[in-house]
Amino acid sequence: MKETDLILIPEAQMDIADLTVFKAVIEHNSVSRAAESLHRVPSNVTARIKKLEQELNVELFLRTNNRLTVTSAGLRLLDYANQILHLHKSALAELTQGEPSGLLRLGSMESSAASRLPLILSAFHQHYHAVQIELLTMASMPLIDKVIDGELDVAMASDPPDDPRLNSVRCFDEELVLIMPSDWPDLNDLPASLTMVGYQKGCSYRHRLETWFKKHGHTCERVIEIPSHFTMIGCVIAGMGIGMVPRSLLALHQTDGLKVATVEPDIASAPTYLVSRKDNPSSAIHAFITCTGDIAATV
């Protein structure tokens, strides 16, 4: 039996309790500490792990001098265990609670988190106070990858891929604009070589700025990656280079010392979407998407 056969054994049975024990042992890196966190005796934890290994016919841990080290097969199982346990928790919440509740793992672009999320989260909390929200901000593509991997429930992102696993609901229509120091010349007189002050790789706005560079024959001399839009705008005002942001974001900033220029519609038009997995439905996700749509209709 090869390790690659891990999840393909038709007679294998994986109990939720066994997966919970397995995950706890990895998280605590100790049978005794895992047993304590689960309010079990260590012998019961050991027995559960051995049972799971026998059912899967694969070693999940290497045992050396009373120490456990997770194997590559164990790490692969951990990915599945996290997804299974999350779905199990979500199913129980959906079937036993009348209103949305539990944990909603939300991702957002940093710019949207500043300009769009405050109103949404305020309204959502007023209506669904039983839902706990965890927020992660990063670039669009990494956010979508985390949705696909089951690490996020829903993400506010731009330019999502056409992926059959995903639901993408359009919520905000952003207009992207160029920002540069106020003492710079007009666009037609800019030097051929420019410094890009932008977001990290995987950001759809950065990709659109790179498209603008190529379209207008500019060379990117260097890229200064700044994840915070506050810092990025400040650096542009200070003369470090040129950037691209949603126009809605500028309403939150002091724009003295900043020149703003429009770009072609195919670059400027950057709709924001709420992205979630089709196979991870929940009342909390549905409620958040509905709440976002209601807010978007008023702005």
Identify the weakest region by mean pLDDT among 2-16, 44-58, 231-245: 2-16
Considering the domain architecture, whether residues 264 and 181 belong to the same structural domain is answered as: yes
Determine the average pLDDT of the residues in 215-244. 90
Query: Same domain for 229 and 181?
Result: yes
Out of 68, 95, 122, a domain closes at: 95
pTM: 0.68
Q: Which DSSP symbol is given to 6?
A: G
Residues 19 and 146 in one domain: no
**Domain co-membership, 133 together with 213:** no
Q: Quote the number of domains for the chain.
A: 3
- Tell me: do 181 and 254 sit in the same domain: yes
CATH number of 258's domain: 3.40.190.10
- Cα–Cα distance between 293 and 120 in angstroms, integer? 9
Residue 282 pLDDT: 84
Q: Is residue 276 located within the same domain as residue 130?
A: yes
Are both 276 and 167 inside the same structural domain?
A: yes
Same domain flag for 109 and 249:
no
Tens digit of each residue's pLDDT (9 = 90 or more) over 250-295? 988 878 889 999 999 999 999 999 999 988 878 899 999 999 999 9
Least confident span in 51-55, 162-166, 200-204, 238-242? 200-204
As a whole number, the mean pLDDT across the chain is 88
Give the burial class of 193: count Cβ atoms within 10 A of its Cβ; 0-12 exposed, 13-18 middle, 19 or more buried.
Answer: exposed
CATH number at residue 82: 1.10.10.10
Residue 43 lies in domain = 3-95
Are 181 and 249 members of one domain? yes
Instruction: Judge whether residue 96 has pLDDT over 70.
Output: no
pLDDT at 2: 47
How far, in Å, CA of 71 to CA of 146, rounded? 24
Same domain, 155 and 281: yes
Q: What is the CA radius of gyration of the chain?
A: 24
Mean pLDDT value of segment 36-65? 89
Per-residue confidence band for 29, with pLDDT thresholds at 50, 70 and 90: confident
Looking at per-residue pLDDT, the higher value among 201 and 258 belongs to 258
162 plus 83 within the same structural domain: no
C-alpha neighbours within 13 Å on the C-beta side of residue 90: 18
**Which tens digit of pLDDT belongs to each residue from 113-161?**
999 999 999 999 999 988 999 999 999 999 999 999 889 999 999 999 9
Residues 262 and 284 placed together within one structural domain of the fold: no
Average pLDDT on 214-227 reads 90
Give the containing element (helix H, strand E) for 148. helix 140-148
Q: Is pLDDT above 50 for 10? A: no
Q: In sequence order, what E strands does 110-218 have?
A: 131-137, 154-158, 166-181, 193-198
Residues β-bridged to residue 119: none
For residues 95 and 102, what is the distance between their CA atoms, to the nearest angstrom?
A: 12
